[in-house]
A and B are shown apart, each in its own frame.
Chain A
Amino acid sequence: GESVGLHLPTLSVQEGDNSIINCAYSNSASDYFIWYKQESGKGPQFIIDIRSNMDKRQGQRVTVLLNKTVKHLSLQIAATQPGDSAVYFCAENMGKSQGNLIFGKGTKLSVKP
């Protein structure tokens, strides 16, 4: 069946480096995507979103890129900090009227000081 997935389950980076977390999706009907950050023992926290009519969106230190041709989503974190250490999930909304936000598998980001 169709699902949201991630290429890398773990990512370790040096403090100050840039991080790139990838996500592949297979549902061509998806029209809205969100990146969430989840720290241990906490609920997912919204980072940034992007609609399918865009290919890039920037926030504070974060950029999301959407490539609909290959159904690929990425999250770039600039100047990664120890506080960025967490599990990152991409999620897709298939645009159904009732709402159905489906999460990918997650990538654990570890930042070395």
Chain B
Amino acid sequence: DTEVTQTPKHLVMGMTNKKSLKCEQHMGHRAMYWYKQKAKKPPELMFVYSYEKLSINESVPSRFSPECPNSSLLNLHLHALQPEDSALYLCASSQSPGGNTEAFFGQGTRLTVV
């Protein structure tokens, strides 16, 4: 199983809503990532979890709150988002952080903030 599964695939939310994005992998990977990708742009790193602990936060606003409940799951909690936060949110995992191994990506959640 070399899959990273993200749910939901699409999400529309209002600026006052609270929602969560979910990511799951069963490859035994100990590093998990959240990326944000705007149209026609490369993915931008948001957060890195290493052995279930947050190791990198790329100055992401607090309205995005990551959570890693266990080694297979990664969540991104959303609250009070802005329309400019609309993007494709990608989850990825790799065997170990900084271990020079490939990162596997999910298909992403297409988020629209209205």
Contact = CB atoms under 8 A, between A and B. Distances in A.
Contacts of A93: 98, 100
Most buried by B among A32, A42, A43: A43
Contact of B100 (A31, A44, A106): A31
Contacts of A36: 105
Interface stretch (A64-72, A75-83, A96-104): A96-104
B102 A44 contact: no
A104 B107 CA distance: 19
Given A44-B90, A93-B98, A95-B98, A101 B103 contact: yes
Query: What band does the interface of chain A fall in when counting residues whose beta carbon is under 8 Å from B?
Result: 20 to 34
B66 interface: no
A98 B48 contact: yes
Contacts, number: 71
A67 B102 CA distance: 20
Interface residues of B, number: 30
B106 A97 contact: no
Nearest to B91: A43
29 contacts: A32-B100, A36-B105, A41-B110, A42-B108, A43-B90, A43-B92, A43-B106, A43-B108, A44-B105, A46-B102, A49-B102, A89-B42, A93-B98, A95-B98, A96-B98, A97-B98, A98-B55, A99-B31, A99-B48, A99-B50, A99-B96, A99-B99, A100-B45, A100-B48, A100-B56, A101-B92, A101-B103, A104-B42, A106-B41
Interface of B: 4, 6, 31, 33, 40-45, 48, 50, 55-56, 90, 92, 94, 96-100, 102-108, 110
Interface of A: 31-32, 34, 36, 41-46, 49, 51, 89, 93, 95-106
